[in-house]
A and B are shown apart, each in its own frame.
Chain A
Amino acid sequence: MSSQKTILKLQGISKRYGGLQALDNVSLDIRSHEVHALVGENGAGKSTLINILGGIVPRDSGTVVFHDKEVVFNKAQEAIDAGIAIIHQELSMLPTLNIIENIYMGRMVSSFGKINWKIMEEMAREQMARIGLEIDPYSLVQDLTASQRQMVEIAKALSIDASLIVMDEPNSSLSEVDSEKLFKVIESLKKDGMSILYVSHKMEEVLRISDRITAFRDGTYVDTVNTEESSVNDVIQMMVGRDLEREHIHRTVSEETILEVSELCSSRFQDISFKLKKGEILGFSGLVGSGRSEVARAIFGADSFDSGSVLLENEDVRFQSPQQAIRSGVAMVAEDRKVQSLFLKQPIHFNMSMAQLPGLARKQVVKNDRVNALVQKYKEKLNIKMDDSDDPVNSLSGGNQQKTILGRWLATSPKVLILDEPTHGVDIMAKAEIYKLIHELANEGVSIILISSEMPEIIAMSDRVIVMHEGRITGDLKEDEITEEKIMTCAAGMLSYV
């Protein structure tokens, strides 16, 4: 393989989003005929790098050399023209149009404004044949399977004569058989002289398909290794690196079980069983899409489940709606603040009082003094920075918005509080305050389920950690077992600590 030459060289790339250093002086080189894997935890900077490479966000500093030429992409089109094709995790396709249109959108061959379907069809078939996609090119994309859609995206990349294809988590929605197909296609592309940057956090895949592996951690470059010489543990070690010291706050959790979930099953998760004690902080870890949020939503009555039971204080509850859950003392801060929690245009007091509204009313009439008292209480308790509670909630910063939502749920005096990514997109100060609050609540006897993608958060906060992988519990870790390495191993589905 001495014929390999470097086609892409990134050097000293940095990128800052507001207060967050997403990438700090990272470097990466990709050779021809190479499948290069990029690994790292959530927030390691993988996505930012892809976006810089694709001309979607500008870099703050550093150089990109592509085919021996220094390049700066200001627009996505410039990267495409240069021969870099990016296949995003959430495929960006036009579902109601056919395959030909999806491959050649913006580059349709036409005469006098009329599309020349014959030529287009031939061109599309040629690209599709290269990757063994044997379906009618006139099929609508919305009728295709996830795997076929991915192939269409690859065909599109081929059609622009890309020499580098970036695949962001290409396997997150594929079945095992489909993954095999994808690997074969990748192999054949490699033989044709193409380079592939394969971004993933699935160990098995990465070890199987790649030639070299580069790891990022917290926005910095860690190392690049040859896959042949590496083991699973080496890769995990690269991704994890730091030894997170668990703060041993000796919390005495009572033995009283508050919530008992047994053999909960749905299409998104299987055989979920666990017990939550009074005043316990139970961490839920696992990759995005492992089913953590889905389990929480099922318990809360937001989604239905097929079988299994949920016992709240030894009473069989199967909440048909969040309304029932709230009445029984279960609260949930949902994963996506803007989409699932906030009433953006409405006043702060409106946002904070919504879940507890019936309790703030007498005979259906909302008592404004009770609402104001509530706002005042949580403004002080959570240190929410606001001018006037009549202001719309979207005038607040992310951290204060999140505190407003926390206020909404604390107002319902929950026995069980589910927190799904409670510190996502909030600043460091607010984060620390939210952590302190979680501890206070637990000490007051509130049982907490803490779902988080941030490893340090899970490790520092949890009394116990449940790890999920592809809809199943693969780890139930206590005290000394709560280490980043063990969690990562379970999350990758490599080992079970149940």
Chain B
Amino acid sequence: MADAVSVSKGQKEKASLLSKIMKQRETGVFLVLVLLCVVMGFASPYFWKPQNIFNILRNMSTIGIISIGMTMIIITAGIDLSVGSMVGATGMVTARLMYMGMNPLLAVVLGFAFGFFLGAVNGLMITRVKIPPFIATLGMMSVARGLTYFFATGIKGAVASNIPLANSAVGFMGGGYIGPIPFPVIEMVVLVLVFQWFLSNTVTGRQIYAVGSNAEAARLSGVNSDRIQIFVYTLTGGFCAMSGIISAGLLSTAATNAGTGTEMDVIAAVVIGGASLSGGEGSIRGAVVGAAIMAVIKNAFVLLHLPAFVQTITLGVVVVLAVASDGLRKKGQPGK
């Protein structure tokens, strides 16, 4: 008898765990990704080839890495429009320093430092000068892009030129492989796992949610919300540097237009993944799945030889549908 009771209790717990998983917003997004992959498997025999899968993963790696930082920023009810420009600027600084003959390791370290610096400036503008995140990072978007041109061409600002990446070890960060797996994919997966854990298990991680849920309540509960905000913007600058070096490595050259438009892809990935722009909600898991959905759609249009404009339209529709379906899902829940 006792056994039967405990079994039924176990089943109940299992059932409630299942219903909890089903209720999570990431689950729906993940199912969409699976469905998309299944459909693509039928539509193109090439889709499931390992080479194609790794291609998709490599193409989403820069978006995926930046979306880690963007998720945290959006959870604090902020936004960062400057990520694309920071990708360009940090990649360019690293390439320029190496081009000038600097030790590659030092150049990479300085590239990261520059990313952290730009991110910290964003954070300081927002917390100390009280500029709304949208405006502060809009300004940074332009300044960082300008700096990219400056590092590419020098003070005279002659014809904008790309700078070749002079070191193969640095190039490996973006273009290398470990066995069949592209190295940036490994970097992305490691960072996603580490920061997903960080966000849900550390004091700072939970305080990030607190700041975005209710800034005043967070402050009265002893959360230093300025510190939290500076932290997430600075960290995002670092992720941008990582992506900047990856994309320079991938192309073996730092391009002045590297990262252009990336901010929109990243924000779209985070939002598809279930984050709310009003703050307090979102997860890195979800954002990465969102990035994957976008990468699969882009890949599908290449494989199926569809015109580029259809792809652009589809991506737009997907973002809007993701948010709309989330609104409907919430409406269906009691007590909201």
Contacts and interface: CB of A to CB of B under 8 A. Distances in A.
A342 interface: yes
Given A354-B218, A354-B221, A357-B206, A344 B201 contact: no
A339 interface: yes
Contacts of B224: 321, 323
Chain B contact residues, majority secondary structure: helix
A365 B202 contact: yes
Nearest to B224: A323
A364 interface: yes
A342 B217 contact: yes
A201 interface: no
B281 A345 contact: yes
8 contacts: A300-B220, A325-B222, A334-B217, A340-B217, A345-B213, A346-B210, A361-B203, A366-B205
A345 B280 contact: yes
A339 B210 CA distance: 13
A332 B222 CA distance: 11
A327 B201 CA distance: 22
Interface residues of A, number: 32
B147 to A, nearest CB: 34
Given A339-B216, A343-B218, A355-B222, 16 more contacts: A300-B220, A323-B222, A332-B220, A334-B217, A340-B220, A343-B209, A346-B210, A350-B209, A357-B203, A357-B206, A361-B203, A364-B203, A365-B201, A365-B202, A365-B203, A408-B221
Contacts of A390: 20
Most buried by A among B203, B210, B219: B203
Interface string B175-208: 0000000000000000000000000011111110
Interface of A: 300, 302, 321-323, 325-327, 332, 334, 339-346, 350, 353-355, 357-358, 361, 364-366, 390, 394-395, 408
A358 B203 contact: yes
Contacts of B217: 334, 339-343, 354
A334 B207 CA distance: 19
B323 interface: no
A343 B222 contact: no
B214 interface: yes
B42 to A, nearest CB: 39
Contacts of A325: 222
Contacts of A346: 209-210, 213, 280
A408 B280 CA distance: 19
Interface in B265-299: 280-281
A355 B209 contact: no
Most buried by A among B204, B214, B217: B217
B336 to A, nearest CB: 8
Contacts of A350: 206, 209-210
B203 A343 contact: no
A343 B214 contact: yes
A364 B218 CA distance: 17
Contacts of A353: 206
B57 to A, nearest CB: 30
Nearest to B211: A343
A366 B206 CA distance: 9
Nearest to B226: A321
A340 B219 CA distance: 9
A345 B216 CA distance: 15
B223 interface: yes
Most buried by B among A339, A350, A366, A408: A366
A326 B209 contact: no
